[in-house]
Amino acid sequence: MRSIYEIIAGIEQQGEEAALCIITETSGSTPLKTGAKMIVWADKKIYGTIGGGNLERQVIRDALEVMKNKTARIFKHQLVRDHEMCCGGTVFVFIEPIKKRNKLIVFGAGHVGKEVVKFSRSMNFQISLVDEREEMLAGLQMEDVNTFHMPHRQFLSQAEMDENTYTVICTHLHQYDREILARCIKKPFAYLGMIGSKRKVAITRRTFLSQRLATEDELSKVDMPMGFDIGGNTPAEIAISIVAKLVAVMNRHSLQQESNEKKTNYTYAEPDCDDNRCG
């Protein structure tokens, strides 16, 4: 029989909607004791049990509400008063939504891209690193990172993006960055960011608006230049600033919207040629 933890891992991987219910405290006579666990799916299917009867039926209803609100809660049940169960004790049940595993897509396996992947590996992301340059991916040995040696257009044609997708754009060409941004800005995402100087960002905004590739509202949701301004300029420092922003978004931290004019240029200086020194 599969363990409940294996099932939870599968739910996270597949993106199913479900909640985990755990008895955290009991007093008096109760069907099951502290530690009993049950998974509830959106279709009311269950795995495991927290005691059966009216208590379990109410916990299933509570779990559906937790899934809807996406916020964990503790529920107190007095078995005689609330559920007409003769056990007579009290049960506390903690219910949390099982969140879909976040996907991180990094376009560009250059200095910054590799550092972003490096610092993100411990954060339970499903990581994809995309680059058309075989030499940039050669020798990368990270079991928890999926590498894709292919043009970004090919990857985008087959990639599934949703509200749990975090996309970092840092290829070796400005043209590629803008092409990727134009495609991703129309898809659902949790985070979408592009590397660059203030000049590059200004040109991108003008281009997208004049060619009607995106609206002002859509552009306002893109993090560019990417990351927080932490005052550093090395690939590792830039990557840390980007990953810090990813963590802030994951934790639903309120991010202050900064205008492009006020953002400090803390990425590489903008060259005149169409080449990203970060890639």
1 versus 201: the higher-pLDDT residue is 201
Taking phi first (over 0 means left), then psi (-120 to 50 degrees means alpha), and beta for anything else, what does residue 92 get?
A: beta
Enumerate the domain spans of the chain.
4-98, 103-250
- The rounded distance, in Å, linking the Cα atoms of 116 and 105 is 10
Q: Residue 47 pairs with which residues in a beta bridge?
A: 39
Fold of 103-250: Rossmann fold (3.40.50)
pLDDT > 90 fraction of the chain, expressed in percent and rounded: 74
Choose the weakest-confidence range: 137-141, 251-255, 266-270.
Answer: 266-270
> What pLDDT does residue 233 have?
87
Confidence of residue 1 (pLDDT cuts 50, 70, 90): low
Average pLDDT in the chain = 89
Cβ-based burial of 257 (10 A; exposed 0-12, middle 13-18, buried ≥19): exposed
Buried b (16+ CB within 10 A) or exposed e, 241-256: bbbebbeebbeeeeee
Sign of the C-alpha dihedral computed for residues 221, 223, 229 and 230 taken in this order? positive
Q: Is the pLDDT of residue 264 over 60?
A: no
In tens, the pLDDT along 88-126 reads 899 999 999 998 889 999 999 999 999 999 999 988 899
Amino acid at 198: K
Q: DSSP string of 155-190?
A: HHHH----TTEEEEE--S-HHHHHHHHHHHTTS--S
> What pLDDT does residue 255 have?
53
Q: Is the pLDDT of residue 267 over 80?
A: no
